[in-house]
Structure 1
Amino acid sequence: MNIEEYLDKRFPTVELVPTIYYQWDIGIHFSLGEGIYQLKENGELNLERFHTGYKQALTIFKELYDQNDDLFLVTNIYRRKTQQQRKMKVYYPNLRDKNNLKRLQVKTYPYPFEEDRREEYEMQQFSLQCKVNDIRVNGLLKAAIHEDFSLKPRFGVDSVHYPDVFFVNITKDIIFFLYDDRGCEVIARTADRLRPLYEKYYNWIEEVDRERIEKSLL
């Protein structure tokens, strides 16, 4: 089974592009690092913001994913069609067993954003089926948190947009997407997977999202 076959069967309306929260009826959008600004008054980066966001994202991930769960680790690279492929620091640094790289799959799709740029740009989607325990989740989450800032680790790809990484749990039918230091999205096939998470981390959800989320989890 590949990622396309899995999505067609379990999440038929979902494309793995931002934002998955609005593509599926059952989901939660969490805001991270609320009340802590990215910059200090002197213009320096406020590391507390990134550390807090990382801890929150990791907490959510651990609530949903067990070490033995099967998943697809999916990465979107957005690039010019004529651009030479540069090294992607998503899989190699974060795989415990580098032999798993032999099973990495890639497919090219049309550019998913501005219609008028589709002739010039494209999206390459990489996917790897593995266990949660096969990957270094900490490094992946930190690199996603650092999207707009010169902090390490980073995904290290010179492309049109920073790479997007999705954790697709095929054991529990859950998809987790940390888009940057501002927040993350989680969708699930059934509401019972997310209801305890909503109740436990209610304060991490903006008021504007609560009504929609509550209806989806009834």
Structure 2
Amino acid sequence: MNIMDYLNSRFPTVKLVPSIYDQWDIGIHFSLGGEMYQFKEKDKLNLERFHLVYKQTSVIFNELFEQNDDLFLVTNMYKHKTKEKHAKKLKVYQPFLKQKDHLNRIQVTTYPYPFEMEEAAELEMQQFSLLCKRKDIRVNELLKAASNEDFPLKPKFGGSSIGYPDIFFVNITKDIIFFIYDDRGCEVIACEADRIRPLYEKYYDWVEEMDRKKVESGL
């Protein structure tokens, strides 16, 4: 099975690009970091906020993924079609996989650039996917790197100069997709509402009031 076969079967209207929450009726958008701002005085990073973000993403992930669940770890890398030599290495899989032989099983497909901008015709999206188990991944470090997109914090992904890689966790055992777009929030969608309704009830305070009506209509 590859990622497109799975999506066509279980999430036929979803494309793995931001925002999956807007593409599917059954989903939750969580806001991260509470009421804390990213910076303190004199532009010092508010590390307390980032530690809260790391804790929240870890809690959500652990509610959705068990050690033996099968999942696709999917990465979108955005790059120039003709300027490959200027692209940085994609440091998403090698640092975060426990067994390096998994690197040989990564699949890659190239797609048109998915966002509207003037030079979109000159750009493309390479989508990497690896079928593995949750226990094969260094989860906490991977979640932190996904959250650190806009800030000089480690761990950090490599990637193209035109954008930070997007990472999707696709749980094919439970038919759930989890996406952290940056330190501000994350999205969860599911084939069946029962899979994620307890998550919404348990972490209701992490969902902004303006999102609750849409979430509850799907759940």
Write the deviation string for residues 189-217 of structure 1: whole angstroms up to 9, x where unpaired: 00000110000000000000001101100
| SS of equivalent residue, structure 2 residue 210 | helix
**Once the 2 structures are TM-superposed, how far is the Cα of residue 123 of structure 1 from its aligned partner?**
0.2
Write the deviation string for residues 53-73 of structure 1: whole angstroms up to 9, x where unpaired: 110010000001001000000
TM-score calculated relative to the size of structure 1: 0.98
- What's the counterpart of residue 72 of structure 1? 72
Alignment RMSD, CA only?
0.9
| Contact 1:111–1:117, Cα closer than 8 Å, also in 2 | no
The 1-side partners of 2:106 and 2:10 are apart by 21
**Once the 2 structures are TM-superposed, how far is the Cα of residue 115 of structure 1 from its aligned partner?**
5.3
Write the deviation string for residues 64-120 of structure 1: whole angstroms up to 9, x where unpaired: 100100000000001111122431110000000000000000000000001543311
Which structure 2 residues correspond to residues 118-197 of structure 1 after superposition, within 5 A?
A: 118-197=120-199
| Contact 2:28–2:200, Cα closer than 8 Å, also in 1 | yes
Aligned residue pairs: how many?
217
TM-score calculated relative to the size of structure 2: 0.97
Change beyond 3 A, Cα 1:41–1:86: closer
The 1-side partners of 2:110 and 2:196 are apart by 32
Gaps of 5+ in 1: none
Write the deviation string for residues 11-44 of structure 1: whole angstroms up to 9, x where unpaired: 0000000000000000000000021110002210
| Contact 2:148–2:156, Cα closer than 8 Å, also in 1 | yes
Gaps of 5+ in 2: none
Write the deviation string for residues 121-159 of structure 1: whole angstroms up to 9, x where unpaired: 000000000000001111111001110001111002233
| Contact 2:114–2:125, Cα closer than 8 Å, also in 1 | yes
| SS of equivalent residue, structure 2 residue 201 | helix
The 2-side partners of 1:11 and 1:117 are apart by 30
| SS of equivalent residue, structure 1 residue 166 | strand
